[in-house]
Amino acid sequence: MAFRVSVRKASLTLKRPEFNVKAGLATSPLLPWVPVAVDSSEARRAVEAEARVDGVEVVAWMQWAGADNAVFSAMEEEYNRLGSRVLTGSGDPFIPGLRVGDLRVASVRGSTVRERGYAEVQTPQGSFRIPAGGKATFAKGDILAWGAVPWVGWVQYLATLVQWIELARAPVRSRVRFPSSYGLVAPQFFKVAPRAPVPLVTLRIGVTSSTRQVIAVRGRGAEGRYEQVYFEDAFEVEQGESEVVYNVFGIPFVPAFTLEIAPADNTQTVLDYIEVFPPV
């Protein structure tokens, strides 16, 4: 069945200029001694203090990867407690190699990544490229993934991967961070599935942001059709706790869809909640 889906922003409100980005967030199960952080740069300070570079046992990329693993594994805890499943990992794809779920970064030297300008990630639905010093989202079939390459050396380099295996279903009433790899912020994805055929679904989305920014939203197809995009929009929030309300219209009705929320880079952002009406 063919669907026509559109979205309209109903309201946007700054609820409180005061904020606490880290309140209620999980600690890392891998590195529980690292303080809660939304961005790896902050976590890296704790990693450097614990394991200083000596050029023999500890080198710089290990610290970079350790900080990313601390931030992203903590996000796993938050997302997975919603009855869902996401996998993350960070390391050097050349040696020792990097694989997360169905994702694998091609094992090449950092110099190759520098020269061609990207790292290649292989998936069962094809490959995608992550720009050196950048990030990329991949959505095709039943594969929903994100990757970042924040640092590239001549031999080794750093990549961080995320694969959403089973999406958290809205409503969401527990805080989940948008993890940031040295300023490169990952999106989050949620399943919105109306229980009955309805022409209108209303979403109330609460976010906390460390700064003024523009956040992108997309309505993608359900699992198996992630590459399909039903709608796109964006909303600007101030520093603090904000709420945006969207009306999603569907002809003949609103189908099950994947809600993508993507904050801007170089921000610290946390999802506070997603409410859906009628209840799903």
Output the domain CATH number for residue 186: 2.60.120
Give the largest Cα separation in the chain, rounded. 64
Same domain as 174, residue 161: no
pLDDT: is 62 or 22 the higher one? 22
Residues 149-207: pLDDT tens digits? 999 999 999 999 999 999 999 999 999 999 999 999 999 999 999 988 999 999 999 99
Identify the weakest region by mean pLDDT among 42-46, 159-163, 245-249: 42-46
280 pLDDT band (50/70/90 cuts)? confident
Q: Is residue 24 part of a domain?
A: no
**What is residue 108's predicted lDDT score, i.e. its pLDDT?**
97
- Indicate the SS3 state at residue 184: strand
Rg (CA), the chain: 19
Q: Is the pLDDT of residue 14 over 60?
A: yes
Cα separation, 181 vs 44, in Å, equals 11
Q: Is the pLDDT of residue 1 over 80?
A: no
Residues 18-39: pLDDT tens digits? 889 999 999 999 999 999 999 9
**What is residue 276's predicted lDDT score, i.e. its pLDDT?**
97
**What is residue 101's predicted lDDT score, i.e. its pLDDT?**
98
**What is residue 158's predicted lDDT score, i.e. its pLDDT?**
96
Average pLDDT (253-278) is 97
Cα separation, 77 vs 176, in Å, equals 9
DSSP 230: E
**What is residue 55's predicted lDDT score, i.e. its pLDDT?**
60
Same domain as 266, residue 196: yes
Average pLDDT (46-60) is 64
Q: Is the pLDDT of residue 54 over 80?
A: no
**What is residue 49's predicted lDDT score, i.e. its pLDDT?**
66
Same domain as 148, residue 92: yes
Same domain as 220, residue 117: no
Identify the weakest region by mean pLDDT among 29-33, 116-120, 235-239: 29-33
Q: Work out the angle between the directed axes of helices 60-80 and 40-50 (0-180°, nearest 10).
A: 120
Q: Is the pLDDT of residue 130 over 70?
A: yes
Q: Is residue 81 part of a domain?
A: yes
For residues 214 and 236, is the Cβ–Cβ distance under 8 A?
yes
For the chain, what is the domain count?
A: 2
Looking at 166, 188, 209, the residue that finishes a domain is: 166
- Indicate the SS3 state at residue 62: helix
Other CB atoms within 10 Å distance of the CB of residue 222: 16
To the nearest whole number, what is the mean pLDDT of the chain? 94
Looking at 166, 181, 196, the residue that finishes a domain is: 166
State what percent of residues in the chain have pLDDT above 70: 95
**What is residue 129's predicted lDDT score, i.e. its pLDDT?**
98
Identify the weakest region by mean pLDDT among 49-58, 131-140, 262-271: 49-58
The boundaries of the domain holding residue 98 are 40-166
Q: Is residue 35 part of a domain?
A: no
**What is residue 278's predicted lDDT score, i.e. its pLDDT?**
93
